[in-house]
Amino acid sequence: MLRRTSPSPDAPAADTTDASVIVTLVHGTFARGTAWTQDGSNLRKSIAEALSTDPQISPADIAFDVFEWSGRNAHGARIKAGYQLADHIRDLRARNPDCRHFIVAHSHGGNIALLAHKHLPPELHALGIATLGTPFVFARPESHLAGKSLDDLLEEAPKHTNTLAGAFAWLVGLPVALSAESWLPGLGFTEFYWEILSGVVAGLIAAQIFKFVFPPIARFGHGFGAKRAAAKLAQAVAFPELPRTHLLSFNYPGDEAQRLLDALEASTSLPQRAIRFINAISEPGFGMLLAGLFVAGIVSAVLQSFIDFDDEALADTVATFFTAVIMTVIALWIVLVIVRFVFSLMRGHPWGFGWERPSLHAHVEIGVEPKAAVPAAKSHINEMVPFIEKAIPRGMRHVGLYEDVRILKALAHWISKVH
Domain-located, residue 4: no
Return the amino acid letter for 207: A
Backbone dihedral angles phi then psi of residue 18, each to the nearest 5 degrees: -105, 5
Strands (E), 338-403: 364-369, 377-384
Tell me the C-alpha distance between 132 and 402, whole Å.
Answer: 7
Q: How many domains does the chain have?
A: 3
Residues 235/241/247/252 CA torsion (nearest 10 deg): 30
By the 8 A CB rule, do 26 and 16 touch? no
Q: How many CA atoms lie within 13 A of 222 on its CB side?
A: 19
Asked, for residue 1, whether it belongs to a domain, the answer is: no
pLDDT score at 6: 37
Pair (128, 30) in one structural domain: yes
Q: What is the pLDDT of residue 369?
A: 92
On whether both 202 and 88 belong to a single domain, the answer is no
Q: Is the pLDDT of residue 241 over 60?
A: yes
Q: Within this chain, do residues 42 and 62 fall inside the same structural domain, yes or no?
A: yes
Look at 2 and 58; give whichever has higher pLDDT: 58
Q: Identity (one letter) of the amino acid at 164?
A: L
Counted residue by residue, the chain has a size of: 419
Residues 256 and 198 in one domain: no
Residues 102 and 127: beta-carbon distance below 8 Å: yes
89 three-state secondary structure: helix
pLDDT in tens, 146-191: 888 999 999 999 998 998 998 899 899 888 888 887 887 777 777 7
pTM: 0.81
Considering the domain architecture, whether residues 302 and 346 belong to the same structural domain is answered as yes
Picking from 365, 140, 106, 379, the residue whose alpha carbon sits closest to that of residue 255 is: 106
Q: What is the mean pLDDT of the chain?
A: 87
Residue at which a domain ends, from 348, 365, 382: 365
385 in any annotated domain: yes
Res 311: pLDDT: 61
* Predicted local confidence at residue 8, as pLDDT: 39
The reply to whether 124 and 248 lie within a common domain is yes
Is 177 found in the same domain as 131?
no
Does some domain include residue 402?
yes
**144 is a domain residue:** no
Per-residue model confidence (pLDDT) at position 11: 43
Ranking 22-31, 85-94, 119-128, 388-397 by mean pLDDT, the lowest is 388-397
Higher pLDDT pick, 334 / 283? 334
pLDDT band at 5 (very low <50, low <70, confident <90, very high): very low
- Containing structural domain, residue 48: 21-138+239-260+366-417
Same-domain check for residues 277 and 211: no
Neighbouring C-beta atoms of residue 213, cutoff 10 Å: 13
Q: Are residues 127 and 244 in the same domain?
A: yes
Domain check: are 306 and 383 in the same one?
no
Considering the domain architecture, whether residues 361 and 373 belong to the same structural domain is answered as no
CATH (domain of 134): 3.40.50.1820
pLDDT single digits (tens) 310-343 = 667 766 777 788 788 888 989 999 999 999 999 9
Residue 90 counted as domain residue: yes
Same-domain pairing of 156 and 292: no
Helix (H) or strand (E) holding 343: helix 311-347
